[in-house]
Structure 1
């Protein structure tokens, strides 16, 4: 009788152990799948953030180009060209908005170079640079901004 009881007991134990092992392996697979999906979402978020920052930097650079162009076309004597003044005001307004977008969206290490570059351009546009050439006045700030922008994008 003891041998007759053992066989069903071993069978039952085998079924229970098999069920437990199956449940554990399914849970491990499910957890692994969840972790993989979580990593994918984090990576997708990082990529979206980097794309947003890259676009913001591009927008800022477009405004910078416009501001440099306005600075180079500034009249020699104030009051000579009212159309230039309107254009300059509009371009500088867009530059300041783009600068603030960068401050909002990009790493803090980029804030000071962005602001310094915008200020240098503002000075060039409004003739606050004396006899200096526009490119001489802004070049150092441009290099600092570009280096900081590259480092900021690499860190994302």
Structure 2
């Protein structure tokens, strides 16, 4: 009888040990998956910000080189389509605060692309929205 109790106790303790070990392994795997997802999301966000900045730079260059030709108009429409599309993805992947700053920057870029702002240079017109966007982006990524 004593050996039977020992076997039952040993089996029970073994089962509890395995159960505890499996639960710990599951928690560790969940933590690893959460960390991997966070790293993937950050990489996606950085890529989007890089793309947004590159497209906005192309738009600024087009505004500076405005000549009104049909080629220029086509290029300007294309760059603004790309910039608006990026702005919408920022809406999905970032907070409303960053999205609002991105939207203001896109609107300002659109303004200088299609017409010169009155009483101020293109660069001065873009400086506030651009700096605000970059500052909020840096804060969100910190």
TM-score (norm 2): 0.92
Structure number with larger C-alpha Rg: 1
CA contact (8 A) 1:109 1:152 kept: no
Partner residue in 1 for 2:94: 106
CA RMSD of aligned residues (A): 1.4
TM-score (norm 1): 0.84
Which consecutive residues of structure 2, in runs of 5 or more, have no partner in the other structure? none
C-alpha separation in 2, matches of 1:141 and 1:148: 11
Greater relative contact order (Cα 8 A, min sep 6): structure 1 or 2? Answer: 1
- 1:1-156 aligned at under 5 Å gives the runs 9-75=1-67, 79=68, 81-154=69-142
Runs of 4 or more above 6 Å deviation? none
Alignment size in residue pairs: 142
Which consecutive residues of structure 1, in runs of 5 or more, have no partner in the other structure? 1-8
C-alpha separation in 1, matches of 2:71 and 2:37: 44
- Partner deviation per Cα, 1:51-80 (whole Å, 9 max, x = no partner): 1111111111111110110111124xxx5x
